[in-house]
Amino acid sequence: MFQTFASVLSEEQLRSIRDRPEVAQALTDIQSGRKVVYFSIPLTDDIKQTLHLRLGLDLSGLSTIPMRWIKGDIAPHIDTGAGAFSNTYLMYLTSSDGSFRVGEDTYPIVENNAFVFNEGLSHETINTGTEPRLLLGPMSEAGIPVGGTFITYFPSEADALAFTNVLGYNASSFVVGNVDSGTTGGFTSWRIASNSNGPANQALVYNNGVTLSGTPFVNYYYLYPTIPCFLEGSKVLCLVDNKEEYVPVEELRKGTLVKTSRDGYKKVEVVAKGAIQNPGTDERTEGRLYICRKEVYPDLEEDLVITGCHSLLVNELTPEQREKTIKSLGRIFVTDGKYRLMASIDERAEPWQSAGTYTIWHFALENADENMNYGVFAKGGLLVETCSLKFIKTRGNMVVVE
């Protein structure tokens, strides 16, 4: 169902709403820099009757009605609420530049026009500028506030920005990764896309189980997974012209034979590159670069720089490393009979304090199971993990080279 209604309230009713002190206070709040301000006002009997007659909305058991001031565009989303509902009801009480899009259709944002549409229908606003606009609702048929899902998961940053290929939703809380029994799409650590409006720091990586800050039905987050990568120039052991030699990751191509820890030489299937913004601090987070110094790692012949979520492969984990790994990933992972130890958790790896934007690379090797990865040798013999084919193929924010 989708319906539009023009001139729903009388001029006197519109004026009585806009003159409310709650409306004025909320406008002051949004003019101070907020994007959305949620509030409610008393619901008079004459407005109840009008909404019932014009929109079929029965609010006879309520004394207040939800409202919002909104500034700027609202990204595509599907409404959720505190409980099950069938339809979304919203009405613009001020006109605005831009348009309201429901599904594939767009409509002008005109004062006193209302929209009623089915739950589950994606909608957004486009080119609305910087002037605040006043809404009655959005709400369900029971008069309960509804809004976008708290968290929407995507396989890549490009998908998050375009709202395509959704992996799943968290419609009940701001807890990361608590769908599909603790993971979403098999991923365990996430970044926040820039079109999210929640207050959590977009420079950080968030692991499953972390609670993002936000106000229900006001804030929303679009998340995409992180990927373990090598800094450009890092070398891995390969077979070239029947001789073993260390090859820079950026020189790998499809078909290059890379030596694995247990399965001999395997062909490269996919090579991809991306970029990372590295801070000039010593903060230990996943979403940055770490340096493994050859003086600290006996198996290295030269320093190795990798991302914080890239794992070294070790024979055992300390109790503290095990605890931190479970907290970060939800469980312990093993590759080629070795434990995965993320650089951000390995006390020997240091945060690389060279601030700037750096090119990072990764690759996936042939495997009948696209979810499997391998152990490979960084220069000197240090074992590190590769990406699985499935993981690297879904990373739209990494550019596939071959």
Q: What is the tens place of the pLDDT at every residue in 296-309?
A: 999 999 999 999 98
Q: Give the whole-angstrom CA distance, residue 43 versus residue 64.
A: 5
Q: What is the pLDDT of residue 241?
A: 96
Report the pLDDT averaged over residues 58-75: 88
Which CATH number belongs to the domain containing residue 41 in this structure?
A: 2.60.120.620
Q: What is the pLDDT of residue 161?
A: 77
Answer yes or no: do 29 and 138 share one domain: yes
Q: What is the pLDDT of residue 178?
A: 59
Single residue among 167, 200, 225 that ends a domain in this structure: 225
Which CATH number belongs to the domain containing residue 388 in this structure?
A: 2.170.16.10
Domain of 66? 2-146
Answer yes or no: do 72 and 117 share one domain: yes
Answer yes or no: do 392 and 301 share one domain: yes
**Number of other residues whose CB lies within 10 A of the CB of residue 248:** 14
Q: Give the whole-angstrom CA distance, residue 312 versus residue 314.
A: 6
Answer yes or no: do 138 and 153 share one domain: no
Q: Give the whole-angstrom CA distance, residue 30 versus residue 33.
A: 6
Q: Give 319-360 as a 3 state SS string.
A: HHHHHHHHHHHCCCCEECCEEEEECCCCCCCEECCCCEEEEE
Q: What is the pLDDT of residue 220?
A: 82
Answer yes or no: do 260 and 238 share one domain: yes
Q: Give the whole-angstrom CA distance, residue 153 versus residue 141.
A: 28
Answer yes or no: do 138 and 173 share one domain: no
Answer yes or no: do 123 and 208 share one domain: no
Model confidence band, residue 215 (pLDDT cutoffs 50, 70, 90): confident
Q: What is the pLDDT of residue 152?
A: 82
Domains contained in the chain, number: 3
Answer yes or no: do 61 and 87 share one domain: yes
Answer yes or no: do 338 and 252 share one domain: yes
Q: What size, in residues, is the chain?
A: 402
Single residue among 202, 225, 248 that ends a domain in this structure: 225
Q: What is the pLDDT of residue 188?
A: 66
Report the pLDDT averaged over residues 382-397: 79
Single residue among 89, 118, 146 that ends a domain in this structure: 146
Model confidence band, residue 15 (pLDDT cutoffs 50, 70, 90): very high
Answer yes or no: do 221 and 244 share one domain: no
Q: Spell out the residues 6+ positions from residue 258 whose beta carbon is closer than 8 angstroms to its own.
A: 236, 237, 238, 239, 252, 265, 266, 267, 268, 363, 365, 374, 376, 386
Answer yes or no: do 194 and 106 share one domain: no
Report the pLDDT averaged over residues 124-145: 91
Answer yes or no: do 235 and 220 share one domain: no
Higher per-residue confidence, 237 vs 180: 237
Q: What is the pLDDT of residue 399?
A: 75
For residue range 154-205, list pLDDT tens digits in order.
877 777 777 677 777 776 678 887 554 345 665 667 888 888 888 998 867 6
Q: Give the whole-angstrom CA distance, residue 249 versus residue 402.
A: 12
